[in-house]
Structure 1
Amino acid sequence: MEWRDEGIILGARRHGETSVILEVMTRTHGRHLGLVRGGRSRKQQPLLQSGNRVELIWRARLDEHLGMFQVEPVALNAARLMESAVAIFGLQTVAAHLRLLPERDPHSGLFETLAIVLDHLEQPEIAAALIIRFELLILEELGFGLDLTECAITGQRTELAYVSPKSGRAVSAEAGAPWRDKLFPLPSFLQSEAREQADIAALEAAFRLTSHFFARHVYEPRGVNVPESRAAFIVAVRRFIQQASAQDVARALP
């Protein structure tokens, strides 16, 4: 058995004295593991870091075997990403989300979205919005997608303001007014025609929204914990935005 594909490295763990088991998200073969002989060598270690984009050849005698990877570089992102706490925790968070999916199930849309996230992990506000969209896509791939396109009560597609915690469907401002205390606010940047950049309040509201549905449909039924990196990512984004705001105020002072 043999295939070639492009992948983004999610992690690696030691195997024996000299090798590693590499975990990658591939374009057409899903999240996949494989053995890299000599992966702990000085030559291989810089290549096999999380966040790097690589070309892969996978070989095994049978399809169900672990198999072996041959790895060549495409874009060595790891050194750049390791300079930012937001990027480190963001990468760990999306990797943890991908591990919720069955190994080897193809998800080309997630691969493309992951690549976009990696390109913007050094821009905290943009990265946070992208990771929220990544979480919505993960929920959809798991079969628990939210419908934020029209009001669950009236069917209208404008003035959407809330999300039902039960159905995961949007609700308009007028229809949801009597139950607004029991509904999640719908951040405007998640609406299809939104163009504005999200502020920290909107980002945190969106993370609370996705947290609820991950807990309800994924973490609690499976008896698993929320990845610690997710909370650390949100804290790092908040800290960056607060520091940036303080610097803006300082520059504006006479």
Structure 2
Amino acid sequence: MQRYIEENAFVLHARPYRETSLLLEVLTAQHGRIGLLARGVTGPRRQMLRAALQPLQWIRFDALQRGELARLTGAEAVDAAPRLVGDAALAAFYVNELTLRLAPRNDPQPDLFAAYARMRERLRAGEPLAWTLRRYERDLLQSIGLGFDLACDGDGQPIDPAARYRLDPEHGPRRLLIDRGAADRSDAPSGQALLALAEDRMPAGGDQASLRRAMRRVLEHHLGPRGLTSWQMLGELSRAGVGGQPSGN
């Protein structure tokens, strides 16, 4: 039996369960991702509790775990969640879904917890969405052991700022030996862009798109054949002519 007392967590997902309960997925620093069952939270007297159990909210909770899910016994909001609309709201949905799919359950994730907190404040501050997402993708992969050194290629050679690279999910950056034109390098960021991501410096606008495509290829590899709902939503918006790449994912 596992007991959680005043555990800090970010809510990744919440969905109704039966008539008055919620099934939650939360991210903690000390225990990683945890599944929670919150019983009886839909009544008029539990509005404050239910409001605290929404995605992106930072909470402090108590729970008791005997099986796969822990039973929530108490929770409170630590602060006010960022109020997001439009592209920023879609970006938050993407981050939560990606974390839910890749972060393992019951595995301590202090670095990922800190990265999520930074991402959340960047969304609150209205920082550039594409750059906010690239940094979080980088930190997520690194935290769960799937990242790679962006300052060196897969063979240990320093990244050349003037060269182009493909991101191999298992090997790391691979230098393109022949530049065959813009179409061939659409998902091959420059070495300068990789170094900027490694050093937490926002790359030039021209490098943002290739960096996004390269990171997506890496994520698709680790996610497997079932993609993300947020990617499907983004594609539908794009086909409908609502923006281009609204949230940079």
- Per the alignment, residue 252 of structure 1 pairs with none
In the aligned structure 2, how far is the partner of 1:187 from the partner of 1:124?
27
Task: Write out per-residue CA displacement over residues 97-134 of structure 1, whole angstroms, 9 at most, x where no aligned residue.
Answer: 11223222221111111111111114555332122122
Aligned counterparts of 2:81 and 2:91: Cα–Cα separation in 1? 13
1:7 paired residue number: 9
Equivalent in the alignment of 1:224: 226
Return 5+ residue gaps in structure 1 as ranges.
242-254
Q: Secondary structure at the match of 1:71?
A: strand
The aligned amino acid for 2:222 is V
**How many angstroms does 1:180 deviate by?**
6.2
- The residue that corresponds to 1:74 in the other structure is 78
- The answer to whether the 8 A contact 1:150-1:160 is kept is no
Q: 1:6 to 1:160 in 2, by over 3 A?
A: farther
Q: CA deviation at 1:77?
A: 0.8
Q: Which moved more, 1:160-169 or 1:232-241?
A: 232-241
Preserved CA contact (<8 Å) 2:129 2:247: no
SS in 2 for 1:164: strand
Q: Paired residue for 2:149, among 147, 150, 171? A: 147
Aligned 1:130-209 pairs, distance under 5 A: 130-152=132-154, 155-157=157-159, 159=161, 161-166=163-168, 167-169=171-173, 171=175, 176-179=176-179, 184-186=188-190, 188-191=192-195, 192-193=198-199, 195=201, 197-209=202-214
For residues 40 and 180 of structure 1, do their structure 2 counterparts lie closer, same or farther at Cα, with a shift above 3 Å needed? Answer: farther
* Structure 1: distance between partners of 2:58 and 2:200: 31
2: CA distance, partners of 1:146 / 1:157: 13
Matched, 1:129 2:131: yes
Bigger Rg, which one: 1
Cα gap change, 1:46 to 1:169, in 2 (>3 Å)? same
Q: CA deviation at 1:178?
A: 2.9
Distance 1:147 1:90 in 2: 25
The reply on whether 1:56 has 2:61 as its aligned counterpart is yes
Structure with the higher helix share, 1 or 2: 1
- Secondary structure in 2 matching 1:3: strand
**How far apart, CA to CA, are the structure 1 residues paired with 2:25 and 2:162?**
40
Give the alignment's Cα RMSD to 1 decimal: 3.2
Q: Decide whether the 8 Å contact of 1:113 with 1:134 is kept in 2.
A: yes
Residue in 2 that maps onto 1:20: 22
CA pair 114-71 structure 1, distance change in 2 beyond 3 A: same
CA contact (8 A) 1:20 1:36 kept: yes
Provide Cα deviations, 1:40-92, integer angstroms capped at 9, x if missing partner.
233323222211111111113x25453224111101215x12xx212211111
1:148 CA drift (Å) = 1.3
Alignment correspondent of 1:245: none
1:227: how far off? Answer: 3.2
Report the TM-score, using the length of structure 1 for normalisation.
0.75
Residues 56 and 92 of structure 2 are in contact (CA less than 8 Å); yes or no, is this contact kept in structure 1?
A: yes
SS at match of 1:44: helix
Q: Deviations over 1:221-254 (max 9, x none)?
A: xx3123325863997685599xxxxxxxxxxxxx
d(CA) in 2 for partners of 1:85 and 1:239?
9
How far apart, in 2, do the equivalents of 1:230 and 1:28 lie? 32
8 Å CA contact 2:63, 2:73 repeated in 1:
yes
Match of 1:210 among 208, 211, 215: 215
Is the Cα–Cα contact under 8 Å of residues 124 and 237 in structure 1 kept in the other structure?
no
Q: Which moved more, 1:142-151 or 1:47-56?
A: 142-151
- Equivalent position SS for 1:161: coil
Report the secondary structure of 2:106's partner residue: coil
